[in-house]
């Protein structure tokens, strides 16, 4: 067990803060926006060049020092568990053929520093409900939540966004929610944050005033969208338990956060780099292109193939 330290926050005299070592990854969703590709394959298993989306997310956790990952999953998504388990026959075959580099990649799908456990979300009752399914495993500790639809291109930053958010939390005891600006028409697709009109710069944080799930353009308090990375204190559990169905008839994580703000400080963190929403066709296609151009093996050729050839007659 990590050593607790006492920190002061705005709304509480002091509270105990632990190093955050646990993360919840909700992976139970059906991926209907990516059908028919996701009819038999979990959306989290769609490849971005040569690794499934979920592997990037697990690697992001490991880089940030997370050691225990809880995936909230569904019986139809066994392929995710298989991907992070050993594959004896395949490994023996690769070893016998001397394909050592591939063997290392197959054995390294799960970083050695993390354990992954799985809990079923019996009913599709929304993101808030999915996170709540991890309560018994996470227990009375702060934790991160990473939405696997959201792939982050850290854009060669020295420190990952998740790492910075964890550092902020461990220094202040204040929850962290990651934001990115979206075009006005898109506010209806996201949780939207009110940060009192502050001009938040990339990599910086500012107090969160209010959050609202998928508002209309008229009701949106800003164009700052929540983009799938959160650090929560254990006090979120009781709020999730008491959150009734909201937008879309689902128990929304955003609604529980909006309650949390009433009793505890929360910080909005503006991401560096850019996010890709791999849960829809356009976002997924852009992510594949973006990551392919940076891939050590094929990046150069992909970039060449995307560069328009000058018209000699022009």
Residues 273-312: x where in contact with ligand G1P by CB under 6 A, - otherwise, as a string: ------x---------------------------------
Residues 240-259 binding ligand G1P (CB under 6 A) are: 252-254
Residue 62 CB coordination number (10 Å)? 17
Decide whether 52 or 126 has the Cβ nearer to ligand G1P: 126
Among 70, 80, 227, 292, binds ligand G1P (CB under 6 A): 227
CB of 312 vs ligand G1P, minimal distance in Å: 46
Q: Does 151 bind ligand G1P (CB under 6 A)?
A: no
Residues 77-136 binding ligand G1P (CB under 6 A) are: 127
The candidate with the shortest Cα–Cα distance to 229, out of 280, 169, 284, 189, is 169
Q: Does 190 bind ligand G1P (CB under 6 A)?
A: yes
Q: Does 191 bind ligand G1P (CB under 6 A)?
A: yes
Q: Does 162 bind ligand G1P (CB under 6 A)?
A: no
Size, binding site for ligand G1P by CB under 6 A: 14
For ligand G1P, the nearest residue by Cβ is 191
Q: Does 225 bind ligand G1P (CB under 6 A)?
A: yes
CB of 66 vs ligand G1P, minimal distance in Å: 18
Decide whether 127 or 166 has the Cβ nearer to ligand G1P: 127
Among 213, 255, 258, 267, binds ligand G1P (CB under 6 A): 213
Which one of the spans 49-57, 81-89, 223-231, 296-304 is the region binding ligand G1P (CB under 6 A)? 223-231
Residues at the interface with ligand G1P (CB under 6 A): 127, 147, 150, 190-191, 213, 225-228, 252-254, 279
């Amino acid at each position: 067990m990590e050593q607790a330290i006492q920190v002061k926050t705005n709304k509480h005299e002091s509270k105990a803060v632990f190093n955050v070592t646990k993360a919840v990854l909700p992976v139970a969703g059906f991926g209907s926006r990516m059908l028919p590709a996701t009819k038999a394959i979990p959306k989290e298993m769609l490849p971005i060049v040569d690794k499934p989306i979920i592997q990037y997310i697990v690697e992001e956790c490991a880089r940030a020092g997370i050691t225990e990952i809880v995936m909230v999953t569904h019986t139809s998504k066994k392929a995710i568990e298989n991907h992070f388990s050993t594959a004896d026959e395949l490994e023996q075959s690769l070893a016998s053929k001397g394909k050592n580099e591939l063997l290392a990649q197959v054995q390294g799908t799960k970083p050695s520093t993390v354990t992954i456990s799985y809990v079923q979300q019996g009913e599709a009752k929304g993101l808030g409900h999915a996170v709540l399914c991890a309560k018994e495993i996470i227990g009375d500790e702060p934790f991160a939540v990473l939405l696997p639809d959201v792939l982050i291109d850290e854009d060669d930053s020295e420190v990952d966004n998740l790492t910075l958010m964890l550092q902020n939390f461990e220094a202040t005891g204040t929850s962290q929610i990651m934001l990115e600006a979206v075009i006005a028409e898109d506010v209806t697709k996201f949780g939207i944050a009110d940060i009192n009109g502050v001009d938040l710069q990339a990599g910086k944080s500012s107090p969160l005033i209010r959050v609202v799930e998928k508002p209309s353009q008229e009701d949106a308090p800003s164009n700052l969208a929540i983009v799938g990375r959160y650090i929560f204190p254990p006090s979120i559990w009781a709020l999730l338990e008491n959150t009734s169905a909201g937008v879309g008839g689902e128990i929304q994580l955003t609604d529980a956060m909006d309650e949390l703000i009433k009793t505890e400080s929360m910080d909005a963190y503006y991401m560096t780099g850019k996010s890709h929403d791999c849960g829809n066709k356009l976002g997924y296609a852009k992510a594949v292109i973006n990551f392919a151009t940076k891939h050590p093996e094929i990046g150069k050729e992909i970039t060449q193939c995307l560069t328009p050839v000058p018209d000699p007659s022009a």
